[in-house]
């Protein structure tokens, strides 16, 4: 079986672990993140050959070259389940070319209409298979509670992915008032016997920090295991099993552009990614490490420009940085968890340096990397931030010029690509369907300022009704069924909690008690 093991970014893990252990653990001991000991390399011919396969088989092949410690036939079967008729396009993530050298990778054709589906239709299946294999090996004798902090899209995608999965329950936290109406309803109406959703007073960073503190509470972990027979794990992009499926779509996209005659094999392709937590652009970095001829990686930020400032200065500073609500709420993040993995790679895997910087960030709210690491950052990345007004103007301009409707996150990436691009063609990661953010798309199309009130008759519409109006006005009649039906579904979850660890732990304990009571009643 597998020879490729996983080490942690802070050097605290007692030993390297297998892929299955890394996926089930989620977070390494000591708070570090798992990365593979070896990044496999693909030849140009290997990459080009992927285009002859359906997407699920492309994904399976890339997992196999990582030496994932599951049988090859299991990997093939899980990928076929993950990337099948649950997506509304058989190509899974089709590419729309707006010009000869501007290509949009549509990552939102899955069941929740956001790029998170690309990973979260995959991770739950591999999590379940990994847990089953570890049980057979005698390494595991408990169930799991997946605890997720979301800025909007991860929550619904994780809920949908883990819904009714045996041996797993899932609780999701989102910033109360910090997600769109559509995003809220997607989570609050979630079906499933093993799911729970909480609003959190505060912003996404409060949710994420609270979740990390819960994961670090050994006493609570012992309580969950003793009283409920469950251990905590994560479906956020701190879990390598979330990140790895994202590597696949960058490798796949390059192969597809070559097969379509839009790129010569070996030609460089720049990539522009709207990102707050850094996982999506980190996946492009790993694809580049594997041998995909990617050029510059453009990091697109909104007004929460902590990543742009870091890439441009080498200092990561949130000590006095205001948190800004923007039209692209899934990027409203100040603490970018996956930057830790990127810095680990760029320091030559210096766990001591990473542990020190992460300690500085936790205690002083800032850190500065050394000159050599900063030079490596500048070789690989360029970054720009797009203000709210420019974001909305970009949506209108692209629609007027190309008849193509962007969501606000993709608009941030599109404008960043325009600002930074050189001679290479650019692949823009499109991370959500426009209908998830209809209020701001309407503002964009009608020249209404960011945050300004919508006309009374428009403001009175639900998110679904507003999307219908936009579709009629633009001819963009592609609103996915999962979004169009939300008004007809009952709201199941409305509880709002504080974002501190004690409040989250109390809410999680209540959820576990409810599940235990339901299971007991079912068995009587």
Strand-pair partners of 428: 104, 272
Question: Chain centroid to CA 154: how far?
Answer: 6
Which alpha helices (H) appear in 51-180, and where do they start and end? 55-65, 72-82, 116-120, 123-136, 153-162
- Please, which residues have CB within 8 angstroms of residue 20's CB and are 6 or more apart in sequence? 68, 69, 70, 129, 130, 131, 133, 134
How far is it, in rounded angstroms, from Cα 150 to Cα 330?
A: 8
Q: List active site positions.
A: 116
CB burial string 109-124: b at 16+ within 10 A, e below: bbbbbbbbbbbbbbbb
- In DSSP notation, 65-91 reads HTT-SS-HHHHHHHHHHHTSTTSSSTT
Of the candidates 494, 511, 516, the one whose C-alpha atom is nearest the C-alpha of residue 199 is: 494
Contacts of 45 (CB under 8 A, 6+ apart): none
DSSP states of 387-412:
-HHHHHHHHHHHHHHHS-PPPHHHHH
Q: 441 is written with which tokens?
A: 């798309």
Instruction: Please work out, in degrees rounded to the nearest 5, the angle formed at the alpha carbon of residue 459 by the alpha carbons of 458 and 463.
Output: 85
Sign (positive or negative) of CA dihedral 151, 152, 154, 159: positive
Kindly list the distances between the CA atom of residue 510 and the CA atoms of 369, 514, 516, in Å, as whole numbers in the listed order.
42, 6, 10
């Amino acid at each position: 079986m597998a020879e490729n093991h996983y080490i942690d970014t802070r050097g605290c893990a007692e030993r390297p672990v297998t892929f299955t252990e890394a996926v089930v653990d989620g977070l390494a001991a000591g708070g570090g993140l798992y990365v593979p000991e070896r990044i496999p390399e693909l030849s140009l011919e290997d990459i080009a050959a992927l285009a002859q396969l359906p997407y699920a088989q492309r994904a399976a092949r890339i997992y196999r070259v990582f030496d994932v410690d599951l049988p090859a036939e299991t990997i093939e079967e899980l990928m076929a389940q993950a990337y099948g008729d649950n997506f509304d396009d058989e190509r899974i993530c089709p590419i729309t070319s707006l010009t000869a050298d501007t290509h949009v990778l549509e990552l939102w054709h899955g069941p929740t209409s956001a790029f998170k589906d690309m990973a979260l239709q995959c991770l739950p299946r591999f999590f379940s298979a990994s847990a089953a294999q570890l049980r057979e090996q005698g390494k595991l004798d408990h169930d799991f509670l997946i605890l997720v902090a979301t800025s909007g899209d991860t929550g619904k995608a994780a809920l949908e992915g883990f819904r009714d999965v045996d041996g797993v329950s899932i609780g999701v936290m989102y910033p109360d008032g910090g997600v769109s109406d559509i995003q809220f309803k997607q989570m609050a109406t979630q079906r499933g016997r093993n799911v729970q959703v909480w609003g959190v007073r505060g912003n996404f960073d409060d949710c994420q920090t609270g979740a990390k503190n819960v994961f670090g509470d050994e006493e609570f972990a012992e309580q969950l295991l003793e009283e409920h027979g469950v251990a905590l794990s994560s479906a956020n992009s701190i879990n390598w099993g979330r990140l790895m499926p994202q590597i696949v779509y960058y490798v796949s996209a390059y192969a597809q552009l070559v097969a379509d005659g839009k790129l010569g094999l070996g030609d460089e392709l720049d990539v522009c990614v709207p990102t707050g937590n850094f996982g999506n652009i980190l996946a492009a970095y790993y694809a580049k490490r594997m041998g995909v001829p990617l050029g510059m990686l453009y990091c697109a930020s909104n007004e929460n420009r902590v990543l742009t400032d870091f890439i441009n200065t080498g200092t990561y500073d949130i000590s006095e940085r205001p948190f800004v609500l923007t039209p692209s709420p899934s990027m409203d993040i100040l603490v970018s968890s996956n930057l830790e993995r990127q810095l680990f790679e760029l320091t030559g895997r210096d766990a001591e340096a990473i542990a020190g910087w992460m300690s500085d960030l936790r205690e002083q709210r800032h850190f500065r990397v050394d000159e050599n690491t900063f030079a490596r950052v500048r070789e690989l990345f360029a970054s720009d931030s797009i203000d709210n007004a420019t974001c909305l103007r970009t949506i209108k301009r692209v629609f007027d010029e190309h008849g193509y409707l962007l969501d606000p996150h993709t608009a941030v990436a599109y404008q960043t690509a325009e600002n930074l691009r050189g001679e290479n063609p650019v692949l823009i990661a499109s991370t959500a369907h426009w209908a998830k953010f209809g209020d701001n798309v309407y503002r964009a199309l009608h020249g209404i300022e960011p945050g300004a009130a919508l006309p009374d008759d428009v403001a009175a519409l639900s998110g679904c009704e507003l999307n219908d109006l936009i579709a009629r006005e633009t001819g963009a009649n592609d609103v996915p069924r999962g979004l169009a039906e939300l008004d007809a579904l009952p709201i199941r979850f409305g509880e709002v909690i504080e974002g501190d660890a004690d409040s989250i732990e109390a809410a999680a304990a209540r959820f576990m008690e409810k599940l235990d009571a339901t299971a007991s009643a079912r068995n009587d």
